[in-house]
Amino acid sequence: MRILLTGATGFVGRRLALYLLDRGHSVTALVRPATSPAAVRRLLAGGVEPIGETAAALRRTEAVVHLAAATKARTAQDFQRANVEGTRALLSAAAALESPPTVVLCSSLAAAGPSSPARPRTEADPPAPVSDYGRSKLGAETVVRGFADRVPAVIVRPPVVYGPGDPAFLPTLTAMVRAGVGVRPAGRAAYCLIHVDDLCAALTLALTAGHRVDPRDRLSGVYHVCDGTPRTLPEICRHLALALGRRAPLLIPLPQPMVRTVAAVCEMAVGPWGGQALLNRDKARELSQAFWTCAPDRAHTELEFTPQRVLLGKEFRASLG
């Protein structure tokens, strides 16, 4: 199959390109003008053809996996511009074709919102995002639904993604483990995770087996994917500490007002240099929610998706090299 990737130079995109090539697909990457020459060379060396013009790229493909998204931004408008309007531009170009490709949108559990302590979130629960990022990803899903009568599409919502090349989650926790001390939001919280290779498998299955989004049915064509085991942050850190041959770190619980204060300070610290803090006020809104868990039952039934990388310590060791 001829598959176009957006966001191919990112964490998931690089891994997905290799996954698809290993399975005999041809892969083209839609690259922005600002993409570094080194990143383009890496695509070429890996067997991925870069192309900079959306319409031309779409005419040469049978399917699209839309990964490109902003995960950090200064304002809600910046998130909307990148995640909603970027998706709209892609779907508009696809809809203009006589035979549009199937589009798989890699959304986020943040678009659905947090779960309750009683049970993981399912696709049937009405979306209730709590962050600007989550609202922008839900906005991207809404765009996909608006084009669903013209462009066949599937929506996949992963939770926290980790694995080789992870730029944020594992490095942050690794620093706490090495220091022997870290912080966490106060209270009991649980999170679902997915290994990047399992996410690649789920996205590929969505292309080939996923039910398409039906604009008349908000439940159709939407899949939550995870490894199926909610875990607390101390539990995750214990697995990582074992992988690193260290003791589990002391995690100091921070009350929610303190989390928001620390996030605001982080934003101010990087602001003068034009950077974006890993912990910011938008991320603090997500951290103020205790449970980010989801049920992968629909993906198991309809996609026949079964996660293969569920032994956290083993996967952490492999991810850390």
Range of the domain at 26: 2-164+193-226+293-309
Task: Give the confidence band of 124 by pLDDT, cuts at 50, 70, 90.
Answer: very high
Domain identity same for 88 and 177: no
**Secondary structure letter of residue 168 according to DSSP:** S
pLDDT at 276 (0 to 100): 59
**Does the pLDDT of residue 269 top 80, yes or no?**
no
113/178 same-domain check:
no
Distance of CA 3 to the CA centre of its chain: 19
Q: How far is CA 268 from CA 131, 168, 231, in A?
A: 19, 20, 32
Distance CA 304, CA 205 (A): 8
Specify the pLDDT at position 311: 81
* Better-predicted residue by pLDDT, 268 or 177: 177
**Interval 5-44: pLDDT, tens:** 999 999 999 999 999 999 999 999 999 888 888 888 889 8
Q: Is residue 30 part of a domain?
A: yes
Count of structural domains within the chain: 2
Which residues touch 281 (CB under 8 Å, ≥6 apart)? 260, 263, 264, 267
> Is 213:222 a contact under the CB 8 Å cutoff?
yes
**Confidence band (pLDDT; 50, 70, 90) for 298?**
very high
pLDDT, position 228: 92
Is 315 a domain residue? no
Q: What is the mean pLDDT of residues 110-125?
A: 95
Band (271; pLDDT cuts 50, 70, 90): low
| Percent above pLDDT 90 for the chain | 72
Q: What is the DSSP string of 173-227?
A: HHHHHHHTEEEEESS--EE-EEEHHHHHHHHHHHHHHPPPPBTTBTTTTEEE---
Whether residue 8 is found in the same domain as residue 154: yes
State residue 280's pLDDT score. 73
Q: Would you call 148 helix, strand, or coil by DSSP?
A: coil
The DSSP symbol for 190 reads E
DSSP string spanning 150-173?
Answer: TS-EEEEE--EEESTT-SSHHHHH
Domain identity same for 33 and 153: yes
Dump pLDDT digits (tens) for 37-79.
888 888 988 899 999 899 999 998 999 999 999 998 889 999 9
Two tokens at 300?
A: 């198991």
Q: What pLDDT, on the 0 to 100 scale, is given for residue 268?
A: 67
Q: With contact defined as beta carbons under 8 Å apart, do 136 and 76 qualify? A: yes
Q: Percentage of residues in the chain with pLDDT exceeding 70?
A: 94
Q: How far apart are CA 304 and CA 65, in angstroms?
A: 19
Indicate whether 199 and 278 sit together in one domain.
no
What's the pLDDT band for 102 if we cut at 50, 70, 90?
Answer: very high
- Per residue in 175-231, pLDDT (tens digit) is 999 999 988 887 788 999 999 999 999 999 999 998 999 988 988 999 999 999 999
Q: Which residues contact 93 (CB under 8 A, 6 or more apart)?
A: 54, 55, 58
Residues 176 and 257 in one domain: yes
The two three-digit tokens of residue 124, written as one number: 């049937």
Is the separation of the CB atoms in 119 and 297 below 8 Å? no
User: Mean pLDDT score of the chain, rounded to an integer?
Assistant: 91
Cα 120 to Cα 84: distance, rounded to the nearest angstrom? 26
72-76, 139-143, 163-167, 282-286, range with the lowest pLDDT? 282-286
Domain containing residue 160: CATH number: 3.40.50.720
| Whether residue 259 has pLDDT greater than 80 | no
Coil, strand or helix: which one is 32?
coil
Q: How confident is the model at residue 254 (pLDDT cuts 50, 70, 90)?
A: confident
Listed residue (152, 138, 153) closest to 105, CA to CA = 153
Predicted pLDDT of residue 144: 97
| Pair 11, 134 in one domain | yes
User: Regarding predicted confidence, which is higher, 116 or 107?
Assistant: 107
Q: Check whether residue 257 and residue 133 sit in a common domain.
A: no
Nearest CA to 79 out of 36, 139, 145 is that of 139
